Amino acid sequence: MTCLFNKFGGPLVAALMLCVVGACDGTSSAGSTSAGQSADAEATEEEYAKGPNGGRLLVEGSFALEMTIFETGVDPQYRIYSYKDGKPISPASVDLTVRLHRLGDNVDTFNFVPRQDYLMGDGVVTEPHSFEVDVEARFEGKTHAWRYESFEGRTTIPDTVATEAGVMVEPAGPATVQDVLTLSGEVTLAPAATSSVRATYPGPVRSVSVNVGDSVQRGQQLARIESSSSLQEYMVTAPKSGTILERHTNTGDVAGSDPLFVIADFGQLEAYLHVFPRDAARVKTGQNVRLGIAGGDMSVETKIIRFLPIAGTNSQTRVAVVKLPADAGLQPGMRLMAQVVIAENEVPLAVRETGLQSFRDFTVVYAKVGETYEVRMLELGRRDGEMVEVISGLRPGEIYVTENSFLIKADIDKSGASHDH
């Protein structure tokens, strides 16, 4: 049976008396800690009795406490209301201690001082609000005690099941977090990658052996030309190995001083990255760069080797040049996205970005103690796409989920664990 309360003495007294004789599950009725545990273990979040301020109501005899956590405009704090015979009593008449037993054998102890019509805890109730609660109240020479569970963002998964699902964990600790700047650019041939092939002696072209796109080896015949002065034929050969990029002659043409062919070595590629003026002072030669094709998942690690002496095509950018490995599978003209590492910061505590999930209005990871997983609300700092600095919310060395954390989130969401205030 759900107990309803209001702030008027008569109905509240009647409701309290109904709870005392057992009409409300989920609260201790005899002051016994074990009895309180048993009753609360069987109660759902909807079944426990609530007081006029919306908090959990704990009742023993004619004495009752209403447990609330207040967090509007302030850090979460306990505000506890006290009643006798269903009527509010002076908070100064109650000596109260609350202990929160958190996952991992951590205990937060709160003492209380009277404020207006409630008792206020002497500390912040830190997130997550997930704990076993021990309440000890001394009133009119008698001690009243309750113990109940108030869990959120918590689930238990056997290790064998988690391992088969690919859930991976590691301890949180210090890490290097990079400051990165994202730039765009394109692939181009290096200046030394192309060679123009000309006729040694002018004269009519008798034959052409290659087409655009053909691969050639150094010394391979490209064309046959008859010298106009000696009337002798000679071979035009490739000065380097590469690919025919341009062909400017055909059989029957007359070769002069203009290039007949352009050969390109596609193993000599560079990327031109466009740096806007606001970032120019932060981008320097020698900085590490992570490149990827726009819209793809390829990643190439390289460095900035120089800057072009002139501005980019839009005249507003400085152009940083990076060398590309020959086996990167890139071609001139491809668009690139680049992450330039402009600084490296050693931070005392960091987690992997792959472990981050959302929970209520928080960014969280899931801590693991034994086979139990529980949210840890994080305040985050610098991040680089792989690691993210943790300012608060997680302890150094605490084990957390790094891979497939969405499975833990799904299991918690399925269980419907609520934010019990």
- Distance in Å from the first CA to the final CA of the chain: 20
How far from chain centre, in Å, is Cα 37?
38
* DSSP-assigned letters across all residues of 17-77: HHHHTTSS-SS-SSS-HHHHHHHHHH--TTTS-B-TTSSEEEEETTEEEEEEEE-SSSS-E
In the DSSP assignment, the letter for residue 418 is -
Class of domain 9-150: mainly beta
Q: Which of 238-252, 262-276, 324-338, 346-360 has the lowest mean pLDDT?
A: 324-338
Quote the pLDDT of residue 4.
32
Residue 155 has pLDDT above 80, yes or no: yes
How far is it, in rounded angstroms, from Cα 271 to Cα 279? 18
Percent of the chain's residues with pLDDT above 90? 75
Candidates 305, 296, 302, 301; CA nearest to 336 is: 296
Q: What is the pLDDT of residues 2-12, one digit of tens each?
A: 333 333 333 33
- The helix or strand, by DSSP H or E, that contains position 9, with its residue range, turns out to be helix 9-20
Q: What is the DSSP string of 293-349?
A: ETTS---EEEEEEEE-SS--TTSS-EEEEEEE-TTS---TT-EEEEEEEEEEEEEEE
Q: Where in the chain is the domain with CATH 2.40.420.20?
A: 155-178+346-415
For the cut 50, the answer to whether the pLDDT of residue 346 exceeds it is yes
Percentages helix, strand, coil for the chain, rounded to the nearest 5? Answer: 15, 50, 40
Q: How many residues does the chain have?
A: 421
Q: Average pLDDT, stretch 288-304?
A: 83
Fold of 191-264: OB fold (Dihydrolipoamide Acetyltransferase, E2P) (2.40.50)
The predicted structure's pLDDT at residue 13: 36
Place of tokens 């964990």: 169
- The strand ranges marked E within 73-214 are 77-84, 87-88, 95-102, 106-115, 118-121, 131-139, 142-150, 154-156, 168-171, 173-189, 194-197, 203-208
Distance separating alpha carbons of residues 53 and 48, to the nearest angstrom: 14
Between 3.40.1360.10, 3.90.230.10, 3.40.605.10, 2.40.420.20, what CATH number should domain 155-178+346-415 receive? 2.40.420.20
- Cα–Cα distances (Å) from 181 to 22, 292, 310, in that order, read 64, 14, 21
The closest of 220, 252, 259 to 239, measured between CA atoms, is 220
CATH 2.40.50.100 positions along the chain are 191-264
- Range(s) within the chain of domains with CATH label 2.60.40.3340: 9-150
Residue-wise pLDDT tens digits, 347-361: 999 999 999 999 999
Phi and psi of 24, rounded to 5°?
-110, 125
Q: Provide the pLDDT for residue 313.
A: 62
Neighbours of 58 (CB within 10 A): 29
Residues 203, 254: contact at Cβ < 8 Å?
yes
pLDDT in tens, 366-413: 999 999 999 999 999 999 889 999 999 999 999 999 999 999 999 998
